Amino acid sequence: MTEFATSADGTRIGFHVHGDGPVLLLVDGAMCSRAGGPMPAIAEAIGDTRRVVVYDRRGRGESGDTAPYAVEREIEDVAAIGAAVGGPLALFGISSGGALALRAAGALSIVTRVAVYEPPFMPEPALAGARTYTAELARALRHGDRGAAVEAFLRRVGVAPDAVVGVRRSPAWPGMEALAPTLAYDDAVMGDSRVPDLTSLRADVLALAGGASPDFLHYGAQTVAARSGGRFEVLAHQTHDITPAAAAEALADFLD
């Protein structure tokens, strides 16, 4: 059943809770929501020993959206959910959701632990590509071309041109176009794609990467762990699409 928390700017944020126990909030990455993303299955895999909260980030699913956007509003959304469910929070974020989880953990004292999976921070030589994507995305959204925005994202994450054509023809395309404006939110969360300053972070940190993922996806997790004094782990055989069982096992080891 969907519950709602009201954020500081009045935006209603939809979420549901699985299980009971210490609270773990799952933070989606780009183009994901409760209706189309990995988090509900991860919540099921974790089982009933934790109060696992799965939510729709603003602009997605059953959550509202209030202009103007700022990353701080999404941090306030996390705080509102924390107030609604009670108790300290652990966070788990995948991809750009990991970047948001780190920002929230740095800003909110209620966050005591944060785990991230392959946050796509980049080393210096790759930052030009991030700037190009930001410009392409902004141009597409400024012109109201949601399809072009989604295509820019797909190219950015390495989808081949012929595969992009196939995605456009798939039944998933209308839903992807509906989420296109939120790509700018994830881009804002990523900042300039450098690993952010983590000196204000007081939460315990676990940074994860998949053993079958390319090296550039290891960079962000490794650097986050090094700069936060956290732990870095490689999960054997996992890709960027982490399996629910692997996520649940890694989180259990960290949170127990």
> Which residue, among 57, 51, 1, has the nearest Cα to 27 in the 3D structure?
57
CA–CA distance, 121 with 240 (Å, rounded to integer): 14
User: What's the predicted TM-score (pTM) here?
Assistant: 0.97
pLDDT of 87 reads: 83
Separation CA 209–CA 216 (nearest Å):
10
Cβ atoms of 103 and 75 closer than 8 Å: yes
By the 10 Å C-beta count (0-12 exposed, 13-18 middle, 19+ buried), 10 is classed as exposed
Give the pLDDT score at 200.
81
**What's the CATH fold of domain 3-121+195-255?**
Rossmann fold (3.40.50)
The pLDDT value recorded for residue 202 is 95
- Give the residue ranges of the chain where pLDDT is below 70: none
Q: From start to end of 72-227, where are the E strands?
A: 89-94, 111-117, 204-210
What pLDDT is attached to residue 199? Answer: 84
Using one digit for the tens of pLDDT, what is the confidence trace for 70-128? 999 999 999 999 999 998 999 999 999 999 999 999 999 999 999 999 999 999 999 99
pLDDT of the residue at 256? 87
d(CA 19, CA 26): 13
Where, residue-wise, is CATH 3.40.50.1820 in the chain? 3-121+195-255
Residue with tokens 């995948």: 94
